[in-house]
Structure 1
Amino acid sequence: MADQSFQAVAAERAAPNFRVTAMIVASAMLMENIDATVLATALPTMARDFGVDAAAMSIALTSYLLSLAIFIPASGRIADRFGSRTVFRAAIFIFILGSIFCALAPTLPALVVARLFQGAGGAMMMPVGRLVLMRSVARKDMVSAISWLLIPALIGPIIGPPLGGLIVTYLAWRWIFYINVPIGIVGILLVSIYIQNFQGSTVERFDWIGFVISGVSLSALLFGFELASHQGQGMTSVSLVACGCLFGLLYLRHARNHPAPILDFSLMKVPSFGTSVIAGSLTRITQGAQPFLLPLLFQIGFGYTAAQAGKLVIATAVGALLMRPFAKPVYRYLGFRNSLVVNGVLGTIGYGLCAAFRPDWPDWLMFAVMILSAFFLAFQFTAYNTIAYDEIEPGRMSSATSFYTTFQQLMLSLGICIGALALQASVTMNGNVEPQPTDFSAALIVVTLISITATVWNFRFKPNAGAEISGHHAH
C-alpha cells in the first residue's frame, strides 16, 4: 500500500505543465548545440596548447560525430529497455562527465577519447529527449511543445561562436567544457523531479549486427559530408561517402531479415511519418547550409569582421523565437497540409532571397530578410516534427524518434556538404582565387532549389493529417 501511494505521488509530481517538460528537454539540447559550435572557435588556441597544427584539431569535431553516428540509432532501444527518464538522465550525466574529461585533457589523443565519450551522451540526449516529450505531452499541446525543441537547433549555432570567442579571450578554452557542468546538474535534478520513466512494453533482442553496420555507414557518411567543406579533402570525402552508401545497402539487406532492426525502415510505410521524413530531409538541406554559407558570405564576400557577421546572423534566432506564438493558431486555421505547402514555399524562397545580398545592402534590410526566412522555416520544422508522429503507435515511438533524429542529423550534414560543393564549383567555374558574393549566391540558389522540391511531398499529406493535434477539423 505504501509503495502504491508513493507511485501515485510520483506520478502526480511527474506530470507538470507541458511547457516545463519542453523547457527541460530544450535546455539539455541547447547545452549540446552550444557546446558543438563553441568548440570550433577555440580550436586554434587549443592547438597551440597541445603543440599540434591547427588542422589536426578537426579530429576533435569528427570524433564527436562518430559517437553520434553510432549511438543515435541505438538510443530508442536503450530507452525502451531502461526507461526514457533513466536514459535521458544518464545521457546528461555522461555528457557532463565527458565535458569534464575534455576540460582536463592534457593531450589531443586524450581529448579525442573524451569527445567520443561525451558524444555518446549527446547522441542519446537528442532522440530520447524527443521521446520524453512525445510520451509526456497531450496531443492538443504537441505543437506548442515541439516549437520549443527548435530553439536549441537554431540558437546554438548562432550564439556558440561568439560565446567561444569570449571564453577564449577572457578565460581559457577549458571553460568551454566546464560551463556544461552546472547546467547539466540542474538538468538532472529537473528530470528526476518532473519526467516520468516510460518503458517499452516489449523488449526485443538487440540488433548487434545492425548496430555495427549502421554505425559504420552513418560514420562514413557524416565524415564524408563534413570533409566536403575542407580544402584538399575531396577524394577522402568521396571515398567515405561511397563507403557509407555501400554499408547502407548492406544494412538495408540485413534489416529486411531482422525482426527488430536498429533502424526500422518499415516506419517509412506510415504515411505521415514517411512523408515528413522525406519532405523534412529536403528542407533541411537549406537549414544545414545556411549557418555555413551566410557567416562566410559576410566575412569573406563582404569583408565584415566576425563580430559584425555574428550580429547579422543572430537574426535567424530572432525569427525562430518570433514564430512560436503563431504556429498553433495557423495550424488550427489551415491544417498541417495547407500550412506546409504555403509556408514551405515562403520559407525556402526567403532564404533564396539571401542570394541577392550585396555589400551595398543596408544591414537592417538583410537582418529583416533573415528574420522572415527563419520565421517561416522554424514554422515549417515545427510542423514536420509534430505531424511525423501523428500515426505512430505508442509501442513504436522510440524506434520512430531514433529513426527521425538519425536522418535529421544526416541531412543537416549533407546541407553543409552541398553548400560547400556548390560554392567551390562556382569559384572554379568563375576562375576566382577566393569566393566572391556571386559564388555565394550560386550556392544559396542551389540549396534553395533542392529544398523547394519538398513542396511536391507536402501535397502528399492527407487533407486531415494531424487534425486531432491541430484542431483544424473544428472548422
Structure 2
Amino acid sequence: MIDARQRNTALLVAGCFFMENLDGTIVTTAAPEIGRSLGAPPTSVGLLVTVYLLTLAVLIPLSGWLTRRFGNRRVFLSAITIFTLASLGCAAGGNLGELLALRVLQGVGGAMMVPVGRLIVVARTEKRDLIRITSYIVWPGLLAPVIAPLAGGLITTYISWHWLFLMNIPLGIAAFGVAWRLIENTGTTAPPPLDRAGVLLTCTGLGGLTYTAHLVAETTASWTVAAAAGAVSLALLVAAVLHLLRTPHPLVSLRPLRTPTYRATETGGFLFWLVVGAAPFLLPLLFQTQFGWSPVKSGSVVLCVFAGNIAIKPATTPLIHRFGFKPLLIAATLGVAVTMAGLGLTTAGTPLPVIAVLSLLSGVARSVALSGYGTVSLSDIAPDQMRDATTLGATTQQLASGLAVAAATVALRLGERFGGLLPGAPSRTAAYTVAFGLLACVALGATLSALRLPSQAGDSLRRERPVTDPPGGGAGGSVAVTRGSLPGSGRRQPQSAPPDGRFDRP
C-alpha cells in the first residue's frame, strides 16, 4: 500500500522530471530568437540542447555511485540546487559560450536529480505498487514536451527567451523545500572504485563528437577539421567500449548487450531516438526561417507531434497485447519514416491541416514505438543483470536524445550542400527536404533492427485473450491468459503487463 509520504515523494520526483524534460525541449522553439539575440546562427544554438542532454547521458551512470558514497538526501538536494542556480546563470548569460557552459552545469544537476529521485521512490515501494508509483512519476514528465513548443513560442514572442530559464527558479526553490522535509537521509556504503578511465574516455569521446557536429553545422568550418575531430572522437569511444568490456567495475556495464533481444531493441531504439529527437528541432527552423511563421504559430503546429504522442497512450498497451511487439515496432518505425519524408516535402503553400495531420501521425507512431522499446528490451534480461540493463538503457536513451539535435544540424548541413541536386526547380526548402529524407532513412534503419527481432519477442509480457474457467473449475469468471505460465502449473496464470511507456521520454 502506498502511503502519503511515498505518494508525495513520487510527486516531488515527478516535478523534477517535469523541470528536466521541459528544459531539454523548450529551447528548440526559441532557438532562432536566441540566435538573433546572441548573434549566433540557429543551428549553433542547437548545441544548447545537445550539450544539456549529452551531459545527462554521460553523468547518469555516476548517480548510483554518488548515492552510495554520499547518501540519497545529500545528492538529491545538491542536484536541485545546482540545477536551479545554473538556470539563473543561463538567464544572465551574455554570449553563446557562457550559455553553453551553464547548460552543461544544468545537465550535471539533472543527471543526479531524476535518477536519484526515482531510486529513492522505488527503494521504498513494494513490487505490487510499482506500476502505480511509476505512473505518478512518468505522466507529469510526459506533459513537458507537450506544452514546451507552444510555451517556448509564447515566452519568446511576448516576454523574452531569458524567462525560459528564469521560470525554473521558483520551481527549484519549491522542490528544494519539499525535498528537505520529505527525503530521509540514508547511510553511506563503500562503493566500488570509480572507473576513472571510463569516465575520461567516455566523456572526452562524447564531447569530441558534439564538437564535431558543431563544426559540421557551422557554414564556415572546414570539412577536413571536422573529419579529423570526428575520427579522434570515434577512436576514443571505441577505446571506451573496449575498456568498459574488460574492467571489473565499469562506469557503464555493456554485458546486457549479449542478450539478443536487448541488443536489437537498444540498437533500433538508439536510431529511433535520433529521429524523434531531431524532428522537434528541425520543424521550428523550417516553419520560422523558411515559411515565415511566428514562434507561436510554429510552436502550435509542433505541438501536434506531442499531442499525437499523448493521444495514443491509452491504446498502446491493448495494441501490444493484440498484435505483439515485433509487428508494432515495424509499423511504428515505418510510420515515422513516411511522415518524416512527408514533412520534408511540405512548403509554405502546403495547407496547414496537412502539415498538422502529418505531425500528429508522426507523434502517434513515435509513441507506440517508444512504449514498445521501453518494455520489450528487458523481457529476456536475467534478474542479476536488470540493474545494469536499466542503467545502460537510460544512458543510451539520453545519449541518443543529445545526439539527435547534432544529427539534425548535420543533416541540414548536408541538405544545404546537396539540395540543389533534387529534381525540379530549385526550392528554398530543398535543404530541409534532404534533411528530413535522411532522417527517414535512419528510421528505416530502426525498422531493419525490428525485423531482426524473433517473432515471440516480449510475449512473456503479453496477455493473449480472456478465457472462461470450465464448469466446476473453481471460482467463476475469466482470467487473462499469458505466455508466462508458472513452472509445474497446469494452467496459465494472470500476469500484469509492464507499465505503458515505462522508460518513454518524448
Q: Give the TM bin, normalised by the shorter chain.
A: 0.7 to 0.9
1:335 aligns with 2:324: yes
Deviates more, 1:368-377 or 1:280-289: 280-289
2:236 to 231, 244, 247: 247
Give the conservation status (yes or no) of the 8 Å contact 1:72–1:405.
Answer: no
Residue of structure 1 aligned with 2:338, choices 327, 345, 349: 349
Could you say which residue in structure 2 is the equivalent of 1:3? none
Report the alpha carbon displacement of residue 106 of structure 1 after superposing the two structures with TM. Answer: 7.2
Partner of 1:302: 291
Q: 234, 256, 264: which is aligned to 2:245?
A: 256
Match of 2:142 in 1: 151
- Cα distance change, pair 146–437 in 1 and its aligned pair in 2 (3 A): farther
* CA apart distance, 1:457: 1.8
Letter in 1 for 2:164: I
Of 244-253 and 157-166, deviating more is 157-166
Post-superposition shift, 1:186? 3.2
For the pair 1:95 / 2:83, whether they are aligned, the reply is yes
Closer, same or farther in 2 for the Cα pair 1:313/1:116, shift >3 Å?
Answer: closer
Q: Contact between 2:147 and 2:303, CA under 8 Å: does it hold in 1? A: no
Q: Secondary structure of the equivalent of 2:340? A: helix
Task: List per-residue Cα deviations over 1:48-84 (Å, max 9, x = no partner).
Answer: xxxxx54699598376567446524423433454556
Alpha carbons of structure 1 residues 148 and 230: separation in structure 2 relative to 1, 3 Å: farther
Out of 446, 450, 457, the residue aligned to residue 449 of structure 2 is 457
Deviations 1:101-151 (A, max 9, x none): 334557877656544432311333465566667766756569967863873
Indicate which of 368, 393, 396 corresponds to 2:388. 396
Residues 415 and 432, structure 2, Cα contact 8 Å, conserved in 1: yes
Residue identity opposite 2:173 in structure 1? I
Q: Which of residues 292, 303, 312 is equivalent to 2:301?
A: 312
CA-CA distance at 1:464 after TM superposition: 4.6
Q: Distance in 1 between matches of 2:185 and 2:389?
A: 14
Indicate conservation of the 8 Å contact 2:155/2:163, yes or no.
no
The alignment status of 1:423 with 2:423, answered yes or no, reads no
Partner of 1:445: 437
Question: What amino acid is aligned across from residue 420 of structure 1 in structure 2?
Answer: L
Given the superposition, is the C-alpha separation of residues 458 and 108 from structure 1 closer, same or farther in structure 2, using an over 3 Å criterion?
Answer: closer
Structure 1 residues 324, 442: CA separation in 2 closer, same or farther (over 3 Å shift)? same
Q: Report which stretch shifted further, 259-268 or 380-389.
A: 380-389
Q: Which moved more, 1:294-303 or 1:176-185?
A: 294-303
Cα contact 1:88–1:129 (8 A) shared by 2:
yes
CA distance in 2 between counterparts of 1:296 and 1:266 reads: 40
Partner of 2:111: 123
Output the amino acid matched with 2:201.
I
- 2:34 paired residue among 28, 43, 48: 43
Are the structure 2 counterparts of residues 384 and 17 from structure 1 closer, same or farther at C-alpha, using a change threshold of 3 Å?
Answer: farther
Partner amino acid for 1:257?
R
In structure 2, distance between residues paired with 1:412 and 1:400: 18
Say yes or no: does 1:367 pair with 2:353. Answer: no
Letter in 1 for 2:153: P
**Contact 1:31 1:180 survives alignment (8 Å):** no
Determine if contact 2:35/2:45 at 8 Å carries over to the other structure.
Answer: no
Structure 1 gap ranges (5+) = 1-8, 48-52
Q: Are the structure 2 counterparts of residues 293 and 217 from structure 1 closer, same or farther at C-alpha, using a change threshold of 3 Å?
A: same
Once the two structures are TM-superposed, the CA of residue 388 in structure 1 deviates from its matched residue by 2.9
Instruction: Look at both structures and tell me which one has the larger radius of gyration over its CA atoms.
Output: 2
- For residue 415 of structure 1, what is the amino acid of its counterpart? A
Instruction: Note if 1:71 corresponds to 2:63.
Output: no
Question: Per the alignment, in what secondary structure is the counterpart of residue 16 of structure 1?
Answer: helix
Cα deviation digits, residues 20-74 of structure 1 (max 9, x gap):
4784454133342256447635535753xxxxx5469959837656744652442
Q: What is the aligned partner in structure 2 of residue 207 from structure 1?
A: 195
Closer/same/farther in 2, CA of residues 378 and 85 from structure 1, 3 Å limit: farther
For 2:221, the equivalent position in structure 1 comes to 233
Change (3 A) 1:103 1:411: closer
Residue type of the partner of 2:348?
A: P
Q: Which of 179, 187, 191 is 2:175 aligned to?
A: 187
Query: Secondary structure at the residue paired with 1:277?
Result: helix
Deviates further, 139-148 or 286-295: 139-148
Cα deviation, residue 90, structure 1: 3.2
TM score, norm. by length of structure 2: 0.75
Residue matched to 1:162 = 153
Q: Tell me the equivalent position of 1:275.
A: 264
Cα pair distance change 1:32/1:305, threshold 3 Å: closer
**SS state at 2:312 partner:** helix
Q: Give 1:320's aligned amino acid.
A: N
Q: Which amino acid is the alignment partner of residue 366 of structure 1?
A: I
Against the structure 1 CA distance between its residues 163 and 308, is the aligned structure 2 distance closer, same or farther, given a 3 Å change threshold? Answer: closer
- Give the Cα–Cα distance (whole angstroms) in 2 for the partners of residues 405 and 74 of structure 1: 16
Structure 2 vs 1, CA of residues 273 and 128 (structure 1 numbering), >3 Å: closer, same or farther?
A: farther
C-alpha separation between the residues in 2 aligned to 1:21 and 1:329? 30
Alignment partner of 1:216 is 2:204: yes
1:290 to 272, 279, 295: 279
Q: Is the 8 A contact 1:33 1:157 kept in 2?
A: no
Q: Find the residue that maps to 2:7 and give its secondary structure.
A: coil
Aligned partners of 1:335 and 1:467 also within 8 Å: yes
How much does 1:321 deviate? 1.9
Contact 2:266 2:393 in 1 (8 A): no
Mapped contact 1:275–1:460 kept (Cα < 8 A): yes
Q: Which residue in 1 is equivalent to 2:481? A: 474
Paired residue secondary structure (1:228): helix
Kindly tell me: are residues 447 and 35 of structure 1, through their superposed partners in 2, closer, same or farther at Cα, counting changes over 3 Å?
Answer: closer
The alpha-carbon deviation at position 95 of structure 1 amounts to: 0.2
Structure 1 Cα separation of the partners of residues 12 and 378 of structure 2: 18
Aligned to 1:266: 255
Aligned to 2:312: 323
Aligned-CA RMSD value: 4.1
Q: Is the 8 A contact 1:76 1:402 kept in 2?
A: no
8 Å CA contact 1:143, 1:382 repeated in 2:
no
Higher helix share: 1
- Deviation for aligned residue 1:360: 3.2
> 1:377 aligned to 2:366?
yes
Task: Report the alpha carbon displacement of residue 234 of structure 1 after superposing the two structures with TM.
Answer: 4.7
The aligned amino acid for 2:265 is S
Residues 410, 175 of structure 1: alpha-carbon distance in 2 compared, 3 angstrom cutoff: closer
Moved more, 235-244 or 430-439: 430-439
CA distance in structure 2 between the aligned counterparts of 1:420 and 1:59, rounded to whole angstroms:
12
